[in-house]
A = this chain, B = another copy of it.
Amino acid sequence: MTSTGPTDRPLLVHCCMSQKKPVLNIAMIGYAFMGKAHSNAWRQVGHFFDLPFDIHLHTICGRNKEATDKAKEKLGWSHSVYDWHEVVNNLEIDVIDINTPNHTHAEIAIASAKAGKAILCEKPLAKNLAEAKSMLKAVEDTGVINMICHNYRRVPAVSLAKKLISEGILGNRVYHFHARYAQDWLCDDQFPMTWRLDKDTAGSGAHGDIHAHIIDLGHFLLGDFDEIVASFETFTKQRPKADNPSQLEHVTVDDAAQMIGRFKSGAMANLEATRFAQGRKNNIVFEINGEKASLRFNFEDMNRLELFEADAPKSNQGFKSIIATESSHPYSGRYWPPGHVLGYEHTFINTIADFVSAIESKQNPSPSFADGLKVQAVLEAAEKSWKERAWIKI
């Protein structure tokens, strides 16, 4: 494999003679759920944002030829290949978008960095902290733009929460971050074994998959954790094999994870993630309590942010339900008029819009691999905490 490093490609994007914008060639590896969500975002982003590049969905890559070819057609890509080295080595490609199982992130990302590609990687960054560190080293050594796809930061209502916090709405002290990410897709004990339930491929279960998201939201909104204690549970320890349901396989990851502790700011943290909450489909709820205000968000009603302000007149206080669809709200003005609500997929479009802008500005977007590493460090600390039944300093 003859990788072409960043020094050989001073122009990251493919320019053109005309007055048209330069083209950014994207390659995406992986074509399942995240592949569908990312493809949609790549297709849509230029229609809603004023980007410095024209986006070209150049190549989709997957190991299964038939499925990859089908995805190419359905998801709008120009080419398909079946070995990720091909896109990493392809000089035409500017961006590698990694949507593969977690244990493959590191190898692909490191090779992509060496090849000078801008990298967008699905979360969690890696299978474990050591891998994550090597990934961060690779992007720092090569200077490529890198981003981890914690898409929930860019729910407009969540971005609005961030903006309000940055403006000081919480006051001088923050007391609580109380978050829960609950799903119910594993409640059925006949749900078959998948790579997501195998520690070798997934690294962890609800912990790395969804706990990671609310840990990242904690970082995003309130900063770093200081110390934590965690607990895990695997409620269903064996599941039918997908292609032979009469045979049972061992689930080697957690079904649920929980964690209490503190942020460096002194705020108390309480996080819980589970795939065993009947009726909770994709229920991300957080509440932040500060000196001057409280904020609350629930993804199942994702266009709203709830805000309580203690400075309002005493007889006139209450949680205010802000529909974050005004043009003055983050991202929302790009889409539809007020009250014409957005959905899940827009979080990816917003993410990719900022990623593409970062490629032009040559400044890493947030969350970068460095942010992903932070999440990984908390994930690993939590696992250690449970193994040792002890409080762990982050």
Q: Which chain B residue lies CB-closest to A301?
A: B301
State the CA gap A117–B123 with chains docked (Å). 47
Q: Which chain B residue lies CB-closest to A40?
A: B47
Let me know if B300 and A276 touch, CB within 8 A: no
A305: which B residues are within 8 A, CB to CB?
318
**Which one of A180, A266, A282 has the highest number of Cβ atoms from chain B below 10 Å of its Cβ?**
A282
A318: which B residues are within 8 A, CB to CB?
279, 304-307, 320-323
Q: Which of B229, B277, B304 contacts A175 (CB 8 A)?
A: B277
A191 at the A/B interface (Cβ < 8 Å)?
no
Q: Which chain B residue lies CB-closest to A276?
A: B175
Let me know if A272 and B338 touch, CB within 8 A: no
Q: Which chain B residue lies CB-closest to A170?
A: B278
Let me know if B260 and A274 touch, CB within 8 A: no
Let me know if B341 and A344 touch, CB within 8 A: yes
Let me know if B289 and A274 touch, CB within 8 A: yes
Q: Which chain B residue lies CB-closest to A163?
A: B315
A381 to chain B: closest CB distance in Å?
15
Q: Which of B231, B294, B315, B322 contacts A329 (CB 8 A)?
A: B315
State the CA gap A304–B37 with chains docked (Å). 22
Q: Which of B75, B294, B336, B343 contacts A277 (CB 8 A)?
A: B294
Pairs of residues from A and B, 6 with the lowest C-beta to C-beta distance, nearest first: A281-B339, A282-B339, A279-B308, A343-B343, A318-B322, A340-B344
20 pairs, A vs B, C-beta closer than 8 Å: A43-B43, A43-B47, A175-B276, A176-B272, A185-B337, A230-B260, A233-B262, A233-B266, A277-B287, A277-B289, A278-B308, A280-B289, A282-B337, A305-B318, A307-B316, A307-B318, A314-B326, A319-B321, A342-B343, A343-B346
Give me the interface of A with B, judged by CB distance under 8 Å.
33, 37, 39-40, 43-44, 47, 74-76, 160, 163-164, 173, 175-176, 178, 180, 182-185, 187, 229-231, 233, 235, 255-256, 258-262, 266, 268, 270, 272, 274, 276-283, 287, 289-294, 299-308, 310, 312, 314-323, 325-326, 328-329, 335-346, 389-391
Given A47-B74, A277-B287, A278-B294, 16 additional A-B pairs, CB 8 A: A33-B337, A47-B75, A173-B235, A178-B180, A259-B260, A280-B289, A281-B340, A307-B318, A314-B328, A315-B322, A317-B322, A318-B320, A320-B321, A335-B345, A336-B343, A341-B344
